Amino acid sequence: MQLGSDSDNLISMFQKITLQHIRPYSQVQVELGKNINVLFGPNGAGKTTIVEALCVLSTTKSYRASKLFDLVSFGQPIGKITGETSDFDTVSVDIMPRKHIFYKNGDRITRTSQFLHATKVVVLAPEHLYLISGSGEKRRQFLDHLLCQKHPILLDDFKAYRKTIKQKQALLKQNLHFHDYKTQVEPWNQQLFTHGEIIRKHRKELLNEIQANVEKEYGEISQTAEPVTLNYLQREQSMMERLSELEFQEHRIKRVLVGCHRDDFEIGLKGQSADIIASQGERASLLLALKFAEMSYLTDDQIPVMLLDDVGVTLDDQRRDHLFHRLQKLQPQTLMTTPNPTIVENARAIGAQVLMQKKGDFQTPISWK
């Protein structure tokens, strides 16, 4: 699809989101405009929580909590997030200690992959500052969340893979004799192999698909023509061969050492690892280039919703200007948060509507529709 500013024709965005017993809120409702929305309020007011809740409704996952129950207000047994979309769907999730149930238009969804509705999101949050230089876990999460939005069916492979790792880990903890362990672990290894190969194949394809775009975007942001590469780092060429070499060690140290849960990818800049050579400015440009590439990758008949948490922290003035310029041109539905009044004014200049926060609630200004 040709990206343009004609967002009126685009379908499925969020019109309203309601949180009940989620983080600091007992209940809050936020109505979103169809273009750029800014949540403005002091630190600790609950802005990020709204962004996080929208992310959960779109992707079934949070980008900052490893388990959904972390979102539920302390001391509460259950939390609920409900969203109403522009194509009249109501999507919701009930979050309980060890399970969560998704609903679409009141019907319980039994397979999470069927929940992923038309609204896709790109999230840029302070957590992503570690994408270039942090642990492999952050980069795997970036790849896997993106893949699941593009191909919801992959959620099933990721779920099966995670479950098998847990089962294998439990078996390792049983202190079985190696011979008995080897017999019992065989089906789990097969499962890891089957789902792991699918996951690896898709991760590599994704990197191949976005690489040229990341390089192009980086060039535009930094006004340079430096090569940018995305290189998948696979721990072992053949999982089964590596397993036969390492299974004794796995049994001895009781850890799963072989599989795609330990893979990573390296961002290369000027032929070197960006993690080692990139300056702060170059890292910020790479991060924004990755996010723009993510936006194109997820655009099919609709531009993804942009969730930009604390843009004053994630991007400096120069890169924020670049982002705002892009937002002004494309006008995707955007939810941006900031405690910084200058950024609010800059956002107003590109047509943003501002929601001011007042102690766990949102006040709408007169211009708000």
Under the binding rule (CB under 5 A), the answer on residue 357 touching Mg ion is: no
Under the binding rule (CB under 6 A), the answer on residue 299 touching ligand ADP is: no
Q: Mark 300-329 with x for binding to ligand ADP (rule: CB under 6 A) and - for no binding.
A: ------------------------------
Q: Mark 38-67 with x for binding to Mg ion (rule: CB under 5 A) and - for no binding.
A: ----------x-------------------
Query: Which residues pair with residue 92 across a beta bridge?
Result: 82, 103
| Member of 7, 73, 114, 141 binding ligand ADP (CB under 6 A) | 73
Give the binding-site size for ligand ADP (rule: CB under 6 A). 13
Under the binding rule (CB under 6 A), the answer on residue 49 touching ligand ADP is: yes
Structure tokens at 225: 């023509």
Binding partner at 367 among Mg ion, ligand ADP, none, C-beta below 5 to 8 Å by kind: none
Under the binding rule (CB under 6 A), the answer on residue 88 touching ligand ADP is: no
Structure tokens at 31: 């109505």
Under the binding rule (CB under 6 A), the answer on residue 23 touching ligand ADP is: yes
Under the binding rule (CB under 6 A), the answer on residue 56 touching ligand ADP is: no
How many H helices and E strands in the chain? 11, 15
- Taking CB under 6 A as the binding criterion, the range among 66-74, 103-111, 127-135, 142-150 that sits at the site for ligand ADP is 66-74
| Member of 47, 140, 195, 203 binding ligand ADP (CB under 6 A) | 47
* Minimum separation from the CB atom of position 336 to Mg ion (A): 11
Residues 124, 244: Cα–Cα separation, whole Å: 41
Under the binding rule (CB under 6 A), the answer on residue 48 touching ligand ADP is: yes
* Minimum separation from the CB atom of position 209 to ligand ADP (A): 33
User: Which C-beta is closer to ligand ADP: that of 41 or that of 196?
Assistant: 41
Residues 257, 250: Cα–Cα separation, whole Å: 6
Contact status, residue 296 vs residue 1, Cβ threshold 8 Å? no
DSSP state of 123: E
Residues 8, 152: Cα–Cα separation, whole Å: 26
Residues 340, 35: Cα–Cα separation, whole Å: 20
User: Which C-beta is closer to ligand ADP: that of 164 or that of 338?
Assistant: 338
| Member of 24, 126, 136, 312 binding ligand ADP (CB under 6 A) | 24
| Member of 2, 9, 44, 223 binding ligand ADP (CB under 6 A) | 44
Contact status, residue 154 vs residue 198, Cβ threshold 8 Å? yes
Other C-beta atoms within 10 Å of 81: how many? 26
Task: Region of 254 please: left (phi>0), alpha (psi -120 to 50) or beta.
Answer: left
| Member of 43, 105, 175, 237 binding ligand ADP (CB under 6 A) | 43
CA angle 113, 119, 124 (to 5 degrees): 100
Contact status, residue 299 vs residue 1, Cβ threshold 8 Å? yes
Phi and psi for 57 in degrees, rounded to 5? -65, -25
